[in-house]
Amino acid sequence: MKTLFTANLRVLLISAVSIVLVFTGVVLLCMNSLYYETNIRNLRDTARILLPLFMKPGQDPGPGMVSLGDTPYRYTLIRQDGMVMADSHLDASGDIENHQERPEVKAALAGREGSARRYSRSLDVPFLYVTLPVYDSAGNIWGVFRLSQHVPNFWQRIASITRPFLFLAALVTLVAGGMVYLFSRSLSRSVNRLLGVAQAVTDNPHGLAVRSSAQDIKEWSLLERALCGMAAELSSRISQAQAEGRRLETILNGMNEAVLAMDTKLMLHLVNPKARGVFALGEITGPISLLAATHSTELEATAQQVLIRKTAEELHITLHGAAGAQHFRVFAAPLIADQDQIRPEGVVMVMSDITRLVKLEQVRTDFVANVSHELRTPIQLVKGFSENLLDTPLDDPVEIRHGLGIMAKNAQGMENLINDLLTLVRLEDERIPRPGMEELDIGSLLEEAFEAVSLQAKKKEIRLSAYGPLGLTAQVYGSFIIQAMINLLDNAVKYSPPGAPVWARVFTTDAALFIQVGDRGMGIPGEHLERVFERFYRVNRARSREAGGTGLGLSIVRHIALMHQGRVEVESHAGEGSVFSIILPREPLENQDTR
């Protein structure tokens, strides 16, 4: 590859030599034409002086010999028809060619002064001719007076100065060549210095160490300084862009929303960690389409819609994965980098996981439906029996008593439901202030619970027994623990046959406090065990209602256990009895709320 120096040198040298040659050529041509022009002018002046010698005053011109002596001139007198009437060097009576067509003769016959230059091959010298029109006494053109002279060839004439001239031209070429060499070297040095600076910028993109080299030409120095400035500016912009990129990456990585950005062909070029998790993309790094990544035609259609309409779209989608149904609110917007851009360069999707919200909403709807359902039966019964009573004759005490009994039982059922609902609300509503945890004697709490169920137990002749160390204390929400104990004891009594034993046991391990309630009642078939702690779940709906149950007791117990960062367990066999356990950690985190 050529260097700047050699390329420059070659071009400039060729240019310099060409300029010298062209200049020399032009000078010689000018000198040549000046040489002949001067000679013709002199010849014409001479012709003007000589012409009157051929004219006799008051007469027409005519042939006649006038001797020009030993001069270099030759004259010719030519009549209008081109006939040579007299010639200083030829015998006019001889056979002389008609001169009418000679250009210089033609010009004079037209009334102008003519001139011509012709080369005599025999003498090897150029001849110069000038012509003047000759007028008769009447003032008409009679003919032409021609004066000619041979002059030395221009090149022969300047032969003596050719050598110095060529020497001068060679000297000029040499000097020009030297200057060209110096110029090329200086240019290539400056460019090389600049190249050094540019290389330093490339090697060190942060540009901090790039310094100006010592350029001795102002413009080069300015250019170099501009380059250094540009490098510094570039470096600061790169740093800014990198910082911006890192900030954006941190935000994207920390976002709880799944973010997907894609081009117009819906090929993903940005997937944040949350999105990778949602769509189980693992460490896939190659190009992947939206459809291949999400398997959602709904998302694909939305992205296409955004590209066509160029406006944002919002929708809810449900994805069915290994973890079950997941609900998302999707916000899809066109990706427009430049405000003047007409066509979006892609689509960005932000997906918020609203599974919990949807589930909560479902729970709320189910809850309202369940409560309504639970209330409808007792209300209908109360309404039916009260209407019945109105029609019952007052003297039928048996019927009246039966009706009132049913009404009272259903009213009690409704009251139980309302109480349980209120307890649930107290447990769940964060706005209701809750008393703090206290170190309480668990035996005393159990005693209070026993008292609450003693009447029912007595009715069924059920003996209640308690086991556990005396003086066992724990950090608990007292009233809630009593409520949980009552619920378990109440169930044990409710679902045990008359006379069966019901017991409660309290004990501790290293890590936990156990509160157990056991019975030898009807027990719970295995397939229901998983669900008995759900709200309104009953193994036997009619039996529960009959016993005044609401279907909320065990869910309240679980809630209370969770409130103490504990849990509930049940062990039961149909027809053999059940054992329910509330297991509380020995050192619950007081401030942790589990609502």
In one-letter notation, the amino acid at residue 483 is Q
Residue 76 binds to ligand ADP (criterion: CB under 6 A): no
CB of 435 to ligand ADP, least distance (A): 24
Residue 515 binds to ligand ADP (criterion: CB under 6 A): no
Q: Report d(CA 234, CA 237) in Å as an integer.
A: 5
**Site for ligand ADP (CB under 6 A): which residue of 344, 521, 566, 588?**
521
Q: Is 366 helix (H, G, I), strand (E, B) or coil?
A: helix
Beta carbon nearer to ligand ADP, 154 or 503: 503
Q: Report d(CA 441, CA 478) in Å as an integer.
A: 9
- Specify the stretch interacting with ligand ADP by CB under 6 A; choose among 129-137, 445-453, 484-492, 561-569: 484-492
H or E stretch including 22?
helix 4-50
Beta carbon nearer to ligand ADP, 131 or 550: 550
Q: What is the DSSP letter of 333?
A: E
Residue 46 binds to ligand ADP (criterion: CB under 6 A): no
In one-letter notation, the amino acid at residue 311 is T
Closest-CA residue to 453 (of 380, 415, 504, 525): 504
Beta carbon nearer to ligand ADP, 118 or 528: 528
CB of 541 to ligand ADP, least distance (A): 7
Beta carbon nearer to ligand ADP, 165 or 503: 503
Binding mask 439-478 for ligand ADP (x = CB under 6 A): ----------------------------------------
Half-sphere exposure of 277 (CA within 13 A, CB side): 14
Q: Report d(CA 173, CA 17) in Å as an integer.
A: 6
Residue 47 binds to ligand ADP (criterion: CB under 6 A): no
Q: Which 246-285 residues touch ligand ADP, going by CB under 6 A?
A: none
Beta carbon nearer to ligand ADP, 347 or 453: 453
DSSP string, 545-566: HHTT--S-HHHHHHHHHHHTT-
- Measured at the CA of 326, the angle between CA 320 and CA 329, to 5 degrees, comes to 120
In one-letter notation, the amino acid at residue 315 is L
Residue 538 binds to ligand ADP (criterion: CB under 6 A): yes
For 521, residues 6+ apart whose C-beta sits below 8 A from its C-beta are 492, 495, 496, 497, 500, 577, 578
DSSP string, 443-471: HHHHHHHHHHHHHHHHHTTPPEEEE--TT
Beta carbon nearer to ligand ADP, 173 or 370: 370
Residue pair 118/127 in contact by the 8 Å Cβ criterion: yes
Beta carbon nearer to ligand ADP, 549 or 566: 549
CB of 457 to ligand ADP, least distance (A): 13
Q: Which 541-560 residues touch ligand ADP, going by CB under 6 A?
A: 544, 549-555
Residue 540 binds to ligand ADP (criterion: CB under 6 A): yes
Beta carbon nearer to ligand ADP, 47 or 554: 554
Q: Which residues bind ligand ADP (CB under 6 A)?
A: 487, 491-492, 495, 519, 521-524, 532, 537-540, 544, 549-555, 578
